[in-house]
Amino acid sequence: MRRIKKEAIEKKLKELAKDYRIFAPMNGDVKETGGEFEECFPRLSGKCAFLPPEEEILRYKDGKVEETPEDKPIILFGIRPCDARAISLIELAMRDEKFPDVYFLRKKEKGIIISIACKEPGDTCFCTSFGHGPFSTQGSDALLVEKDDYYLVLGNEKFFKLFGEGEEAREEDKEYFEEAKKRAEEKIEKIPIDNLGENLLSRIEDPIWEKISRKCLNCGACTFLCPTCYCFDIQDLERSWGVSRRRYWDSCMFSIYTKEASGHNPRPTHRERVRR
């Protein structure tokens, strides 16, 4: 464990904005900034840094296919450990052996994720029920724990190469870390997940789905906010210079999502889509 002055990290983050795209919590959302950030619980998870709501993946111009030029590498700073873990779960799907998503993986491999520990988790949090926690390092290149005017840092080589190593954490820092971690974990109520898969399967025809679906607009907001949803659609848009192939976030809440070429839709109503 190391300790680095907050001021040093904040200064370095702004300097890195010249060569990196910085995404960080700001005004309640995770967005691209010039290195500024707020320590908060943003509404968005941070997946937008590596899987944007809209992105061009290639062009067809003058009879030739051109891949979109690579952008600057990404620093995703200040998200919570649960959201960092969620991005690593998306990565599992994107690393499919037969069909790897090169656009996501290229950004992820060149990028860096820096999370801030949850010393005061929300009353709706349940990360400890799934083998995770408010001080977990899973999915992060570095975990920062705020203490006075500096951060305690658990990080890898990628992080320290950019931000410096600071100094060795003191014994009192290590004690503070363990005490803060214990307090945070004790605030999180565990939910029963034993036999969760079997229980859900046994309730496929439960009337509860109809009741829940009456409140649903099928707007897709739940999947856009969800940190592990990654479905997308591909569209070719005609431009004056040629064709731009782009991908956009999609949602299983949309009626057209599962509509087949024959016209058949296996999930024709709100009920089936909410149940999914």
* 160 and 97 fall within a common domain: yes
Half-sphere exposure at residue 227, Cβ-oriented, CA atoms within 13 angstroms: 20
Which residue is associated with the tokens 């010393």?
A: 119
- Report d(CA 236, CA 6) in Å as an integer: 45
Residue 26's DSSP bridge partners are 29
Contact between 106 and 70 under an 8 Å Cβ cutoff? The reply is yes
Q: Among positive and negative, which fits the CA dihedral 50, 33, 9, 135? A: negative
* 202 and 139 fall within a common domain: no
State the residue range of the domain holding 227: 196-275
Instruction: Report DSSP state, residue 146.
Output: E
* 129 and 222 fall within a common domain: no
- Report d(CA 37, CA 46) in Å as an integer: 13
Contact between 102 and 154 under an 8 Å Cβ cutoff? The reply is no
Residue 172 in domain:
yes
Mean pLDDT of all residues in the chain?
Answer: 94
Residue 28: which pLDDT band, with cuts at 50, 70 and 90?
A: confident
Condensed to tens digits (0 to 9), the pLDDT of residues 105-114 reads: 999 999 999 9
* 160 and 228 fall within a common domain: no
- Report d(CA 150, CA 4) in Å as an integer: 5
Enter the pTM of the model.
Answer: 0.92
Q: Which of 165, 186, 207 is the last residue of a domain?
A: 186
Total domains in the fold of the chain = 2
Residue 161 clears pLDDT 90, i.e. is over it: yes
Question: Mean of the pLDDT values across residues 72-98?
Answer: 96
What pLDDT was estimated at residue 218?
Answer: 87
Question: Mean of the pLDDT values across residues 152-179?
Answer: 96
Pick from 51, 44, 24: nearest CA to 144: 24
- Distances in Å between the Cα of 98 and the Cα atoms of 93, 101, 102 are 11, 10, 12
- CB count, 10 Å around CB of 2? 20
* 158 and 268 fall within a common domain: no
Q: Which of 186, 220, 239 is the last residue of a domain?
A: 186
CA geometry: angle 135, 3, 176, nearest 5 deg: 50
- Report d(CA 274, CA 276) in Å as an integer: 5
Which residue is associated with the tokens 């290149």?
A: 141
- Report d(CA 118, CA 86) in Å as an integer: 15
* 71 and 12 fall within a common domain: yes
Condensed to tens digits (0 to 9), the pLDDT of residues 187-199 reads: 999 888 889 889 9
Q: Which of 152, 186, 220 is the last residue of a domain?
A: 186
* 135 and 215 fall within a common domain: no
- CB count, 10 Å around CB of 74? 19
- Report d(CA 103, CA 99) in Å as an integer: 12
* 173 and 114 fall within a common domain: yes
